[in-house]
């Protein structure tokens, strides 16, 4: 290996990990390792079968491979406090310690934190008893969103928008009784346009790295199940500078609160919200890194060397070297392709413009075939000079792909947002 080549370890898998690996690979002489037990053969990274919470095994790998930087994007790894463990062992790692991102990994803790710092968020209640939750519903305005407090911000599960008291009561009983949930979150459903703004931070200062317009529901026209994301476009020109400035203030407040507790947040932080009207918005969630459905859309537009950018945050010279994050004038659009069935062969990938535009989430390569697992199988992203052209290119690609049980939002491909 060229002695100038540096090794980078991404702890995590799925679309976000592969999107990040591609971007890092483009930035320079880096060999990228991604923790995954999938058997894809990528030219931009090498997959290594390591468990995301096996801190000793991950550290040994980093030492054996002389890894220059480790980037944990996995919630499992963050919950295991890989950052503190690696820092104790003098390893270069870009990410938040467990204490600083703990409130992002639990829905109720996240809501309580937002409320405490006076961020605008939907009305909510957190309950550990079925009857208390049912009583709260009697005073609620429907529809409401009900979710398990342990729902993953990345994968998503046990989360529904519910229009009536009777359906809500039945779903609560399912969570408390059949699934033995300890806590359940109930919040008002807010009508509006979904967005996510991502900031990169050294724990004390932050700069926006990208902002997306998000599609959350599974079906066209915001119907069907509520997902963590079924697609997006970037940048989101619907978000005014006034709103962005307010979001910057909220982020600065978050960082200051954590820094005062001596647990500064280093990494990428996402504020997931919804705009209503007249530059009004509510913050629904905080996320500890880019999400699967919008990772490529955001990263395709970033013109900085990410390794240098991340390294500046780790070593405390971020605010001295960066006044803004350079991004291109292009536009990106992504669609998540879902599968209604398990282990079904994906046809037509070879006919798309570039298979590297596809980031696999829940799929595998076996016997020279790509197989989709039930649920979100992969994202497909196109970037072009305009959003209209990006959507047209994405439409051409996605029309080449077919398999039994394929599902995606076709309205993402329409030339309106």
What is the 8-class DSSP label of residue 133? H
Q: What's the pTM?
A: 0.95
The predicted-structure confidence for 194-221, as pLDDT tens digits, reads as follows 999 999 999 999 999 999 999 999 999 9
Question: What DSSP string runs through 271-317?
Answer: EEEEE-STT-EEEEEEESS--TTTHHHHHTTB-S-HHHHHHHHHHT-
Domain ranges of the chain: 6-93, 123-188, 193-321, 331-413
Instruction: Kindly state which CATH superfamily the domain 123-188 is placed in.
Output: ATP-grasp fold, A domain (3.30.1490.20)
pLDDT tens-digit profile, the chain (417 residues) = 445 789 999 999 999 999 999 999 998 789 999 999 888 989 999 999 999 999 999 999 999 999 999 999 999 999 999 999 999 999 999 999 999 999 998 888 999 999 999 999 999 999 999 999 999 999 999 999 999 887 554 444 568 899 999 999 999 998 898 787 789 999 999 999 999 999 999 999 999 999 999 999 999 999 988 898 999 999 999 999 999 999 999 999 999 999 999 999 999 999 999 999 889 999 999 999 999 999 999 999 999 999 999 999 999 999 999 999 999 999 999 999 999 999 999 999 999 999 999 999 999 999 999 999 999 999 999 999 999 999 999 999 999 999 999 999 999 998 655
How distant is the alpha carbon of residue 319 from its chain centre?
25
The predicted-structure confidence for 236-249, as pLDDT tens digits, reads as follows 999 999 999 999 99
Residues of the chain with pLDDT > 90, as a percent, come to: 87
pLDDT, residue 157, reads 52
- The topology under which CATH files domain 6-93 is Rossmann fold (3.40.50)
The predicted-structure confidence for 89-139, as pLDDT tens digits, reads as follows 999 999 999 999 999 988 889 999 999 999 999 999 999 999 999 999 999
Cα–Cα distance, 274 to 239 (Å, whole number): 10
Question: What DSSP string runs through 372-398?
Answer: EPSEEEEEEEEEESSHHHHHHHHHHHH
Q: How many CB atoms lie within 10 A of CB 375?
A: 16
Q: Across the beta sheet with 369-372, what order do the strands follow?
A: 344-345, 369-372, 363-366
Taking CB atoms within 8 Å and a gap of at least 24, the contacts of 43-47 are: 44/356, 45/10, 45/18, 45/21
Contact 283, 96 (CB under 8 A): no
CATH of the domain spanning 193-321, picked from 3.20.20.370, 1.20.120.160, 3.20.20.140, 3.30.470.20? 3.30.470.20
Tokens of 30: 């880096």
CATH topology identical between 193-321 and 331-413: no
For the chain, the first-to-last Cα distance in angstroms comes to 46
- The topology under which CATH files domain 331-413 is 3.90.600
Q: How many helices (H) and strands (E) does the chain have?
A: 13, 20
């Amino acid at each position: 290996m060229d002695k100038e080549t540096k090794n980078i370890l991404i702890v995590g898998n799925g679309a976000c990990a592969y999107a990040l690996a591609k971007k890092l690979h483009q930035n320079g002489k880096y060999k990228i390792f991604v923790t995954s037990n999938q058997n894809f053969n990528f030219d931009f990274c090498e997959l290594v079968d390591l468990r995301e919470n096996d801190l000793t095994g991950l550290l040994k790998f980093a030492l054996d491979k002389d890894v220059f930087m480790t980037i944990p994007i996995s919630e499992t790894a963050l919950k295991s406090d890989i950052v503190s463990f690696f820092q104790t062992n003098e390893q270069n790692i870009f990410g938040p310690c467990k204490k600083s991102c703990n409130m992002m990994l639990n829905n109720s803790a996240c809501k309580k934190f937002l409320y405490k710092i006076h961020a605008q968020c939907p009305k909510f209640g957190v309950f550990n008893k079925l009857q208390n939750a049912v009583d709260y519903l009697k005073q609620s305005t429907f529809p409401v969103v009900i979710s398990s407090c342990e729902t993953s911000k990345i994968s998503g599960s046990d989360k529904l928008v519910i229009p009536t008291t009777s359906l809500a009561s039945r779903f609560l009983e399912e969570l408390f009784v059949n699934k033995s949930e300890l806590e359940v979150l109930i919040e008002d459903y807010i009508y509006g346009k979904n967005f996510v703004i991502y900031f990169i931070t050294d724990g004390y200062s932050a700069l926006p790295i990208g902002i997306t317009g998000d599609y959350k529901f599974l079906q066209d026209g915001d119907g069907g199940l509520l997902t963590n994301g079924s697609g997006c476009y970037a940048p989101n020109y619907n978000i005014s500078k006034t709103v962005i400035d307010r979001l910057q203030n909220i982020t600065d407040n978050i960082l200051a609160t954590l820094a005062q507790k001596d647990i500064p947040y280093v990494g990428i932080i996402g504020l997931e919200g919804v705009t209503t009207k007249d530059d009004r918005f509510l913050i629904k969630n905080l996320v500890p890194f880019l999400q699967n459905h919008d990772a490529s859309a955001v990263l395709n537009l970033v013109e900085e060397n990410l390794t240098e950018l991340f390294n500046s945050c780790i070593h405390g010279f971020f605010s001295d070297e960066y006044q803004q994050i350079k991004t291109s004038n292009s536009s990106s659009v992504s669609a998540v392709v879902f599968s209604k069935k398990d282990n079904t062969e994906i046809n037509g990938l070879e006919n798309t413009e570039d298979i590297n535009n596809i980031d696999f989430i829940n799929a595998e390569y076996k016997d020279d075939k790509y197989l989709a697992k039930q649920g979100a199988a992969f994202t497909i992203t196109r970037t072009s000079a305009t959003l209209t052209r990006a959507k047209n290119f994405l439409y051409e690609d996605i029309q080449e792909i077919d398999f039994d049980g394929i599902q995606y939002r076709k309205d993402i491909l329409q030339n309106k947002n």
